[in-house]
Amino acid sequence: MTDKELDERVQRAVDNFMAGYGCCQSVVAAFSDLYGLDETMAKRIAAGFGGGVGRLRMMCGAVSGIVMLVGLDCGQTEGSDREGKSACYKVVQDLLAQSKEENGSLICAEILGLKGYQKANNSYVASARTAEYYKTRPCAAKVESAARIFANYLKNKELANPPAVEKKEGSYALFFDIDGTLVSFNTHEIPASTILALTQAKANGHRVYIATGRPPIIITNLGAIEHLIDGFVTINGALCFVGDKVVSCNAIPDEAARLVIADAQERQYSLIVIGERDIAVFDPNDDVDRIFRQQLAVQNLHLSIPVEEMLNQRILQLTAFFGNDYEESLMARIPSCISGRWHPEFTDITARTADKGQGLLTLAAHEGIDPAHTIAFGDGGNDTSMIRTAAIGIAMGNAIDSLKADANYVTTTVDDNGVLNALRHFGIV
């Protein structure tokens, strides 16, 4: 389950509470369908746990919701299964410890600031859900906390126990990101084990494709495997080619490109402008030099031309050096574009029709490859679409957490034989 899907379930729990449902009902109903329990039945089962169990102000209803969901997820069904019972209890204790740490208590009366549930008003009459109720009660936040704790439990469980993926018979098309996947961030070289793995894969009849955010002019670090490569998805899917044949080219609309260039010049953030033929570097803060040349060992940036001259050709990508905080506001101004971040200090902006997932499908169609026979490797945010699109998506051990959550399989790091280990796992080599 992706981070987005889990976030939607957390929001569903909050929406349930704001619609008038009890705190336990709200949490349980947000996840019940995962266990074959329809929403109506889930709300009935959980109804009596609201208000700290029947409004007695004992255990918080949202916390009770966590307990009920753990039972649905991993509760034992045989009376003699002591091990299974103990495992379930452990999960309950772990998650409730998280809730207590976040909220200060598991007891409804204490959370509400009452003097203990024994002294609280134990009337069975439910409070009216007025604007004042929602304004003064902390319950919506406690529902969100409980739902988030259970969502994170599901996420961590999935990462630790990835679902089995059926590998189909026949040859596969293997798509590889470059930086952090094929090439080590530490050595700036392709590990010997990766070269061996790709050589064996080719000998076994599989095909090798590159899928990178780099434009062709700065793909200078693949010399050890260039004889093994069958085609390229470059510039995050904006330019795909096989040999000398361009298979697809997706440009950023001219008005969007001009807006970003003008914005960079006005706000003075660094920008790499990538066109069909050339690149231009605007680097007022030396960020390009520091990150691309010094940290990533990127070559050929000295071949850049003035930014103004780039406007005479189609722009395929804009690599903008700013953080997440500004990214959202800028992207709202260019709805025709998407952003793919694989580094905390910059993001790659391309046309909405261009991403690595689309690039994978484009090359697969051109090469006559069944998408069911594709495997993709990546480590960064700009690899997300490719990992989701491929029949088998593999995240490197050094990948960001959200990509690991989307992947079918998480291998070891690029420096710890990650590519070789994954290809062995799936029987490619």
Residue 168 lies in a domain: no
Within this chain, do residues 381 and 403 fall inside the same structural domain, yes or no? yes
Residue 234: strand, helix, or coil = strand
CA 308, CA 110: separation in Å to the nearest integer? 64
Q: Is 368 left (phi over 0), alpha (psi -120 to 50) or beta?
A: left
Q: How many domains does the chain have?
A: 3
| 75: β partners | none
Specify if 167 maps to a domain.
Answer: no
Q: Is 392 exposed, middle or buried (0-12, 13-18, 19+ CB in 10 A)?
A: buried
Q: Is residue 122 part of a domain?
A: yes
Same domain for 217 and 106, yes or no, is: no
Same domain? For 101 and 142 the reply is: yes
Residue 45 resides in a domain: yes
The pLDDT assigned to 159 comes to 60
What is the pLDDT at residue 118?
A: 47
d(CA 364, CA 384): 18
Asked if residue 150 and residue 22 are part of one domain, the reply reads yes
- The whole-number pLDDT of residue 237 equals 92
* Phi, psi at 208, each rounded to 5°: -120, 125
Note whether 97 and 183 are same-domain residues. Answer: no
Q: In 10 A of CB 379, how many CB atoms? A: 27
- Whether 374 and 391 have beta carbons less than 8 Å apart is answered as yes
List, in sequence order, the alpha helices (H) in 186-296: 192-203, 254-267, 287
Report the CATH number that the domain containing residue 274 is assigned in CATH: 3.30.1240.10
**Residue 72 and residue 202 in one domain:** no
Query: pLDDT value at position 310?
Result: 87
pLDDT by residue for the chain (429 residues), tens only, comes to 677 888 999 999 999 999 999 999 999 999 999 998 999 999 999 999 999 899 988 999 999 999 999 999 999 999 999 999 999 999 999 999 999 999 999 999 899 888 654 444 568 888 888 888 888 889 999 999 999 999 999 988 876 665 556 666 789 999 999 999 999 999 999 999 999 999 999 999 999 999 999 999 889 999 999 999 999 999 999 999 999 999 999 999 999 999 999 999 999 999 999 998 899 999 998 999 898 888 888 888 777 889 888 888 999 999 999 988 899 999 999 999 999 888 889 999 999 888 999 999 999 999 999 999 999 999 998 999 999 999 999 999 999 999 999 999 999 999 999 999 999 999 999
206 Cα distance to chain centroid: 28
Amino acid making up residue 210: I
Q: Are residues 120 and 17 in the same domain?
A: yes
Same domain, 77 and 156: yes
Would you say 211 and 182 are in contact if contact means Cβ atoms under 8 Å apart?
A: no
86 within some domain: yes
Sheet containing 231-234, strands listed edge to edge, beginning at the edge strand earlier in sequence: 245-249, 239-242, 231-234, 207-211, 173-176, 374-378, 392-395, 409-410
Cα separation values, 70 from 32, 52, 318, Å? 11, 18, 46
DSSP code string of 335-391: TTEEEEEEETTEEEEEETT--HHHHHHHHHHHHT--GGGEEEEE-SGGGHHHHHHSS
Classify residue 165: in a domain, yes or no: no
Instruction: With beta carbons less than 8 A apart as the criterion, state whether 35 and 72 touch.
Output: yes
Residues 6+ apart with CB under 8 A from 164: none
Contacts of 207 (CB under 8 A, 6+ apart): 171, 172, 173, 174, 230, 367, 369
Contact present, 28 and 68 (Cβ < 8 Å): yes
* Shared domain check, 111 and 26: yes
| 3-class DSSP assignment, residue 278 | coil
235 vs 302: CA distance, rounded Å? 19
227 & 365 share domain: yes
Which structural domain, as residue segments, surrounds residue 407? 173-250+355-425
Give residue 294's pLDDT. Answer: 85
* pTM for this predicted structure: 0.59
User: 21 and 145 share a domain?
Assistant: yes
